[in-house]
Copies of this chain bind each other. A is one copy, B any other.
Amino acid sequence: MRRPAASVPAALAAVRAGEVDAALVPLENSVEGSVPATMDGLADGDPLVITREVFLPVSFVLATRPGTRPEDVRDVVSHPHALAQTARTVADRLPGVPALPASSTAAAARAVADGEHDAAVCAPIAAERYGLVPLAEDVADHPGAVTRFVLVSRPGELPAPTGDDKTSLVAVVADRTGALLDVLREFAVRGISLTRIESRPTRDRLWVYSFSLDCEGHVAEARVGEALAALHRVCEDVRFLGSYPRADGRTSRPVPDEAADAAFADAQEWLARLRAGQV
């Protein structure tokens, strides 16, 4: 069963409280960048893990009550993110009309249906639900934008490796020169590509940053496991956010032979022999 949540924090709280099994929350948008509420909501509080990623095209319509003409529109309302992604197109269509913030795009559609405002930037499905009609479709300034959502659950059995996975984590690094370089090096020496890196302030300490990272590979792989263990040693804190199938349609870099599980296993056996005096 699916149910809507009032906000990202509310959705994550429902998962943590055991009220739902999982939440699908937006993590980043190809135009607007990361979603701070999700970033911070995963980094703080009881542990949650990502078990899946989903990419959805961003589609906005400019919706009004039936019968409204463009020249009748005195204001446009939407969530600030949606207004930001449609600002130029909306200004072209409705020159000089002020844009007002709403708490969500769905709330904006409802407010237009209720007659509080005249036009909303919202998803086509929200327009339909509240009986609105599109004054203009596809009003995103950058057509082709997509939003990456992640399915988040309480910790449990990990998704099995598929051979084409991603691993997410948050690392808090010491406040010193080269700390981030050291973190990146732990991936590089083990032949692991990063697919995303975002910095976030740590709320409790001025100007100390944490880094939210996605890398190729699954924690069950030796190379990823050893890299995570290394971060656990060298960072102030590391939070594992899950390993899950890659779904962005891009191809992972082939695992170099020397970073494959077989190479790690072979090296471990060799080392065990050395330590036993059987060179």
Contact = CB atoms under 8 A, between A and B. Distances in A.
Nearest to A235: B258
Contacts of A194: 177, 180
Contacts of A185: 181, 185, 189
Given A155-B277, A155-B279, A201 B32 contact: yes
Instruction: Return the 3 tightest CB-CB contacts between A and B, nearest first.
Output: A229-B267, A155-B279, A101-B101
A94 B31 CA distance: 36
A100 B100 contact: no
Given A144-B206, A199-B199, A230-B267, 18 more contacts: A33-B201, A47-B279, A80-B80, A101-B101, A142-B204, A155-B277, A155-B279, A181-B181, A181-B185, A198-B198, A207-B248, A207-B250, A219-B275, A225-B271, A229-B267, A229-B268, A229-B271, A233-B267
Contacts of A30: 201, 206-207
A277 B33 contact: no
21 contacts: A28-B201, A29-B201, A30-B206, A31-B201, A101-B101, A101-B102, A181-B181, A181-B184, A185-B189, A195-B207, A196-B199, A196-B207, A196-B209, A197-B209, A219-B274, A226-B226, A228-B271, A229-B264, A229-B267, A229-B268, A233-B264
Contacts of A258: 233-234
Contacts of A184: 180-181, 184
Contacts of A264: 229, 233
Contacts of A278: 155
A7 to B, nearest CB: 11
Contacts of A36: 32-33
Given A199-B198, A201-B28, A206-B144, A232 B49 contact: no
A68 interface: no
A199 B200 contact: no
Contacts of A177: 193-194, 253
A96 interface: no
Interface residues of A, number: 73
A235 to B, nearest CB: 9
A146 B207 CA distance: 10
Nearest to A263: B233
A157 interface: yes
Nearest to A211: B197
Interface string A215-239: 0000110000110111011100000
